[in-house]
Amino acid sequence: MASDKVSIHGAWASRWVFILAATGSAVGLGNIWKFPYMTGVYGGGAFVVMYLFCIALVGVPIMLAETMIGRRGRQSPVNAMKSLAIEAGASKHWSLAALMGMVAALLILSFYSVVAGWSLDYIIGMGRGDFTGISADGAGAAFGGLTSDPWRLTLWHSLFMLVTGFVIAKGVVAGLERSLRIMMPLLFVLLLVLLGYSFTTGHFREGFDFLFHFDPSKVQDGILAAMGHAFFTLSVGVGSIMVYGAYMPKKASIGATVLTVGLLDTLVALTAGLALFPIVFAAGLEPGGGPGLMFVTLPIAFGNIAFGQVMGLVFFVLVAVAAWSSSISMLEPAVAYFVEKTGRSRAQVTAALALLCWLVGMGTVLSFNLWAEAKFFVFAEDGFHLLQWGAEGGKTFFDSIDYFTSRILLPLGGLSFALFAGWVLSRDAVREELSIRSPLLFNLALWLIRIVAPIGVLIVFIAELSK
């Protein structure tokens, strides 16, 4: 039976390792610079309730689908979907969905590595005391100085890609599992240290109220934001969860495990908000989101409060660890596939793919400086231009890759995985993998995977394209 297969790449020691791995994949930069601010803006506690509702209807069902496909196939996402489709009497071309996700993961990693590399630069800066007493103009200039320097960006991009490839090359047990057993507890400890410090700022109540004030009047504006983040935050749509599912113990409960990951991801994001916004308020600054929060606002805050240098160092180590745990999950699906396809060693395949991502990532590095005027997909009065230098419209190389992956490939991948698990796999296969004894709960889970989650992803897809 398909469920009796064993992955050639190895296996997690327990379901808790899968939880660490999947949580590490899900917890990334968005948990720190996007979700907390989004919560404060869109109604606080009311937004959290709506977000959890969206997680249950969209994020968790797709994560269930990916984990189920991965564990039943016990191969890389591409080969798992191909073999399971043939086994079910369906077209082997379903594997193209996994191939699309694999490409998306590599493209995302190419620019994620660049952005994550910024945190490495800030670790050094915080350690040297560069931000002590810094002004708003000084913090903005420091960030601008980093992004405008292609050599510094290349250095940190290269280092981050190197450490990511190192973990993957060591294998599932010696590399991924061993690293995650260190990385994830470290991430939680660092987050708790920051949370403990935020209690001492005298502004914890202000930060708490910003995050959890209950304002239903703002919820309507945040519905699409909640649904979109519920989809994007769990790292679904690219095959990362699927390949991690391939290493999951057979007897582990997929449902309970996936729910745990969803709750942990949300808990980390909310804790990050509780840890950071009191610090922002303590420095007399306005809360914000995005890279500006992480690389401008927070350095100002850390530079102008007691023990800020130490806490700033803790924060940027936290950011680097969160980014690292996410990046390894982006590389693993492709490495697993090409090891199966070519028979080459993991080290050789990892080196080749990491180099490829590094090269593509150089386009992102240059998008912030030397290629800042290079605009792609320009719609001008004289027609469409694939590339035009100095155009007012269009997108930089970085923006183009980000748009193509996050707004097109990821939603299509998530939609395809849900449809495959819901409609191509047999009910018996789904029942065997989910191990849900209650007919009512099983039918509910299947209904969410088959109908509700795909509709939710389509809504996100249309909303993203219309931006």
pLDDT tens by residue, 53-93: 999 999 999 999 999 999 999 999 999 999 999 999 999 99
Average pLDDT, the chain: 94
pLDDT tens by residue, 181-232: 999 999 999 999 999 999 999 999 999 999 999 888 887 888 888 899 999 9
CA–CA gap between residue 119 and residue 351 (Å, rounded)? 23
Amino acid (one-letter) located at 425: L
Amino acid (one-letter) located at 431: R
Q: Per the structure block, which two tokens stand in for 138?
A: 């000084």
pLDDT tens by residue, 203-217: 999 999 999 998 888
Number of residues that this document lists for the chain: 467
For tokens 């495959």, the residue is 420
pLDDT of residue 218: 83
Across 378-404, b (16+ Cβ under 10 Å) vs e yields beeeeeebeebeebeebbbbbbbbbbb
**379 - beta bridge partners?**
384
CA–CA gap between residue 45 and residue 446 (Å, rounded)? 29
Q: Where are the domains of the chain?
A: 2-118+149-292+305-465
Low-confidence ranges of the chain (pLDDT < 50): 1-2
The CATH architecture assigned to 2-118+149-292+305-465 reads Up-down Bundle (1.20)
Across 144-179, b (16+ Cβ under 10 Å) vs e yields eebbeebebbbebbbebbeebbebbbbbbeebbbeb
Backbone angles phi, psi at 384, to 5 degrees: -90, 140
pLDDT of residue 1: 46
For residue 427, CA distances in Å to 97, 166, 226 come to 21, 40, 30
